[in-house]
């Protein structure tokens, strides 16, 4: 089971890095909920990824650490291809159900302008 959860997280980062926005439909559950964005469904992920890649077309996420406990995956990543001196980092936690990401919590050092 641990490897299945790791695989779900890896699929998500691989799709993001490949700009494969349509893959969200297969990676996230139909009732997926993002706590940081307060959005639901894989379409919300697709839109977020598209906006991000429009702003940062060279962005790619590198997994630095991954821990699995029960049905939850915790991941520390760095985001490369973002202008600045040091790559921003993200801490994300996913709850996985039936091989798909069902819920996400996250923190990021990426500066966001209002």
Q: What is the CATH number of the domain that holds 26?
A: 3.10.450.50
- Residue 113 within a domain: no
- Residue 62 within a domain: yes
Residue 52's alpha-carbon distances to 5, 21, 46, 69, 70, in angstroms, are 25, 11, 10, 29, 30
Can you give the pTM of this predicted structure?
A: 0.93
- Residue 95 within a domain: yes
Q: What is the pLDDT of residues 12-40, one digit of tens each?
A: 999 999 999 999 999 999 999 999 999 99
Residues pairing with 95 in the sheet: 72, 103
User: How many structural domains does the chain have?
Assistant: 1
Q: What is the pLDDT of residues 55-103, one digit of tens each?
A: 999 999 999 999 999 999 999 999 999 988 789 999 999 999 999 999 9
Domain ranges, residue 95: 2-108
Strand order in the sheet with 28-34: 39-40, 28-34, 100-108, 89-97, 72-80, 60-69
- Residue 24 within a domain: yes
- Residue 114 within a domain: no
């Amino acid at each position: 089971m641990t490897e299945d959860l790791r695989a779900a997280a890896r699929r998500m980062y691989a799709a993001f890095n490949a700009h494969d926005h349509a893959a969200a439909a297969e990676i996230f559950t139909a009732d997926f909920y993002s706590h940081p964005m307060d959005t639901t469904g894989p379409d919300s992920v697709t839109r977020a990824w598209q906006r991000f890649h429009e702003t940062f077309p060279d962005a790619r996420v590198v997994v630095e650490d991954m821990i699995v406990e029960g049905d939850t995956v915790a991941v520390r990543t760095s985001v490369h291809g973002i202008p600045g001196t040091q790559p921003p980092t993200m801490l994300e936690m996913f709850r996985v159900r039936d091989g798909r990401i069902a819920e996400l919590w996250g923190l990021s050092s990426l500066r966001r302008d209002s």
